[in-house]
Structure 1
Amino acid sequence: MTAIDVAQKTWLVHEILNQHYGIQAIYGRLDPMHELIATVLSHRTTHANEMTAYRTMLERFGSWEAIRDAPVAELTEAIQTSNYPEVKAPWIKQILARIIAERGEANVDFLREMTTEDAMAWLTALPGVGLKTATLLLLFNFQKPVLPVDTHVHRVTQRLGIIGPKVSAEKAHGLLLAYLPQDATVLFNFHKHFYWHGQRVCTWSYPRCGQCVLNPHCDYFKKQS
């Protein structure tokens, strides 16, 4: 397919999922710092275990400053329900130390006033913050026109044939974004709907192709058939 064909297919399946799941208004978590740190905890971790780690961390230490100053071993133990806590604990401490040193407090609301490009560059310079974490924060909390690509979005778009089988999730951020309008509401709904579809229908191990509203447009379904 040409790039125009792929863009048209991307928009078509997006509209089908809009009808299937309903268009959502953009919403984030309670505040941007929550989004940032919780998303770091979410890497390779279920939502339930991520939230348990986040809640335990805050209950034990009480403030961002106390988390910054906590011994690595104690913070690692507090977030143990998140996978790879021994890696994430130093990242969280370094992120908080850098933000507080630069801004005088644990607050990233200033990102709202930055250009999308500058905000992305600032965030991805933080330890452990990649494209997924940065795009989630900027889209959900600041309505910037970026597209988070998690494992579900990546899997579903690959099976559909929108991105190639060897395209990484990192590369998919830019490829998928190029096929869609630079509109935060469109991008938010694309992300949420493909995320839900990957969770509920186009699952990794046993995709429910017979129940899928996208199967007429899906390369994976056609090969299985």
Structure 2
Amino acid sequence: MSSNAAGLPRAACRQTTRSPEPDLVLGRLSERFPVPDKPRLAPLDELVLTILSQSTTDENRDRAWRTLAARYPAEDVGGAAGGASPTGPISWESVLRATPAELEDAVRVAGLANQKAPAIHAALQRLRDEVGRITLDHLEEMGDEEAIAYLTTFRGVGVKTAACVLCFSLRRPVLPVDTHVLRIARRLAWVPPRASADLTYTTLSRTVSPSERFRMHMLLITFGRSLCLARAPRCGECPLEPECPRIGV
């Protein structure tokens, strides 16, 4: 008898035809996992940190940030960096003055440096030109949809990156869809099996209560990293096992 990705016989993998309600998922995951803490950064810090995080690990993202902080330190945490960061304050003015090669070298450990460095530089230059100083504090004056639309006009910034800025920095009721959230939403049949991240973002914005979106995002990431793994999900240990449709598993 063949087995599924979790190592269970396929005949034993009972599938339900209904997807569990978000409130049930939130309740089960809350009983199993604590909600991770997420430091609140200045909007520009969060934007750069999220760009660095694209297609890499948190460890490599933070190593790239620490390199930037070491090479371009902020003299005034409240001014130059726009807010304190747990991984070191950065002078964005100094980063803007760096050569393309210098900036690319500084973020190389995060991967895709030839894409991330130009995206960061372009954002800093645009803010300097349009706002008069390197800051994204004006996002506070925008509504959620307006802010998402504005941020996605920046080079290398998609809906997920923009939503991270709103969710983590501004504490707006949005639910960023990263690779873990997308995978789990598909498996739970919250969205079609081939749904895009943008469609999933739109769908979850309708189905998850605004007050629970931050908590849902953080719990789904923890769940995706510990149990609902991409290649070998640990279904036998899953608190959602009785209700999970196991789409694609």
TM > 0.5 fold call? yes
Range 159-168 or range 194-203, more displaced: 159-168
Question: Deviation of residue 120 (structure 1)?
Answer: 1.1
* Aligned with 2:58 (options 47, 51, 54): 47
Deviating runs (4+, > 6 A) in structure 1?
Answer: none
Question: Deviation of residue 156 (structure 1)?
Answer: 1.2
* Aligned with 1:197 (options 201, 204, 223): 223
* Aligned with 2:191 (options 163, 167, 174): 163
Question: Deviation of residue 42 (structure 1)?
Answer: 0.5
Amino acid at match of 1:220: R
Q: Deviations over 1:177-201 (max 9, x none)?
A: 1111233xx1000000001000011
1:117-136, aligned counterparts within 5 Å?
117-136=145-164
Cα separation, 2, equivalents of 1:56 and 1:112: 29
Give me the identity figure in percent. Answer: 37
- Correspondence for 2:7: none
Decide whether the 8 Å contact of 1:28 with 1:35 is kept in 2: no
Amino acid at match of 1:167: A
Q: Over alpha carbons, which structure has the higher Rg?
A: 2
- Correspondence for 2:107: 79
Q: Deviations over 1:9-40 (max 9, x none)?
A: 22221222122224577x44432222110100
**Which has more helix, going by share of residues?**
1
Does 1:116 pair with 2:144?
A: yes
Range 97-106 or range 159-168, more displaced: 97-106
SS of structure 2 residue aligned to 1:213: coil
Decide whether the 8 Å contact of 1:159 with 1:220 is kept in 2: yes
Residues matched between the structures, number = 215
Question: Deviation of residue 65 (structure 1)?
Answer: 1.3
Cα separation, 2, equivalents of 1:139 and 1:190: 12
Cα separation, 2, equivalents of 1:23 and 1:58: 28
Decide whether the 8 Å contact of 1:96 with 1:106 is kept in 2: yes
TM-score by length of 1: 0.89
Q: Supply the RMSD in Å over aligned alpha carbons.
A: 1.9
Cα separation, 1, equivalents of 2:134 and 2:226: 36
Relative contact order, CA 8 A, sep 6+: which one is greater?
Answer: 2
Range 56-65 or range 92-101, more displaced: 56-65
Question: Deviation of residue 208 (structure 1)?
Answer: 0.9
Decide whether the 8 Å contact of 2:43 with 2:137 is kept in 1: yes
Amino acid at match of 1:127: R
TM-score by length of 2: 0.80
Does 1:206 pair with 2:232?
A: yes
Amino acid at match of 2:104: T
Runs of 5+ unmatched residues, structure 2: 1-17, 74-90
Amino acid at match of 2:198: E
Decide whether the 8 Å contact of 1:69 with 1:93 is kept in 2: no
SS of structure 1 residue aligned to 2:174: coil
Decide whether the 8 Å contact of 1:132 with 1:150 is kept in 2: yes
